[in-house]
Amino acid sequence: MATYDNPDDVVRLLEEDHQLVQSRLESLSAAPADGRAELFWKLTNDLVRHEVAEEVVVYPAIRDVPGGDAIADARIAEQSEAEEKLAQMEKMDAASPEFSREVATLKAAVLEHAKAEEETAFAMLLGAVPAEQRIELGQRYVKAKDAAPTHPPPHAPDSPPGNVVMGPLAALVDRVRDAAANV
């Protein structure tokens, strides 16, 4: 991981979120059956808010960098798969063996996504986006996370035109973008 002069640097904030999610996944993986539900909801809250804020703030900035579209598309596709998995798991009995197997699958996918994101998207931000802009992105990212939903909408599209025609979901996306823009 890189070092930063400012705690508001978006890359630092993203890495801190990755560490939190990894810790939540470890705790959930090790939890006894009767302790999984609460840990799952905490993980879901943290993961969904992180992903929504990335999609609203971080990935548009990455798209502005040459070669950024392919990186953003790949990472957003991975996030969409994780959100679908979370939505499926919300309907399961957290004490069941099936849920435990799904946790292992989710953990592997999320950790692989985080590694790919750190090696590609974060590296791109550090290499092509000036520190002042990363700080501004960090402030917008925090606002977007605060306004983001706490659980995944099932089968909701992540990009236009699908996310625009989803009615209430579109309104939510607009509120998150507004919050992120008001820094």
Residue 66 neighbours by CB under 8 Å, 6+ apart: 128
Q: Count Cβ atoms within 10 A of the Cβ of residue 128 and give its class: 0-12 exposed, 13-18 middle, 19 or more buried.
A: middle
Residue 27 lies in a domain: yes
Q: How confident is the model at residue 163 (pLDDT cuts 50, 70, 90)?
A: very low
Q: How confident is the model at residue 168 (pLDDT cuts 50, 70, 90)?
A: very low
Residue 153 lies in a domain: yes
**94-148: per-residue pLDDT in tens?**
999 999 999 999 999 999 999 999 999 999 999 999 999 999 999 999 999 999 8
Count other C-beta atoms under 10 Å from residue 5's C-beta.
8
Region of 149 on the Ramachandran plot (φ > 0 left; ψ -120 to 50 alpha; else beta): beta
| pLDDT for position 153 | 55
Tokens of 63: 């798209």
| pLDDT for position 160 | 44
With residue 93 as reference, give the H or E element that holds it: none
| pLDDT for position 165 | 39
Residue 118 lies in a domain: yes
- Dist. CA 33–CA 181, nearest whole Å: 42
Q: Count Cβ atoms within 10 A of the Cβ of residue 99 and give its class: 0-12 exposed, 13-18 middle, 19 or more buried.
A: middle
- Dist. CA 21–CA 177, nearest whole Å: 23
Q: Quote the domain boundaries for residue 123.
A: 10-181
Could you give the number of structural domains in the chain? 1
Residue 19 lies in a domain: yes
pTM: 0.81
Residue 74 lies in a domain: yes
| pLDDT for position 150 | 75
- Dist. CA 89–CA 66, nearest whole Å: 37
Q: How confident is the model at residue 169 (pLDDT cuts 50, 70, 90)?
A: very low
**48-69: per-residue pLDDT in tens?**
999 999 999 999 999 999 999 9
Residue 1 lies in a domain: no
Residue type, 94: A
pLDDT above 80: residue 177 = no
Q: How confident is the model at residue 5 (pLDDT cuts 50, 70, 90)?
A: confident
Residue 108 neighbours by CB under 8 Å, 6+ apart: none
- Dist. CA 59–CA 71, nearest whole Å: 9
- What average pLDDT does the chain have? 86
| pLDDT for position 2 | 53
Residue 3 lies in a domain: no
Residue 41 lies in a domain: yes
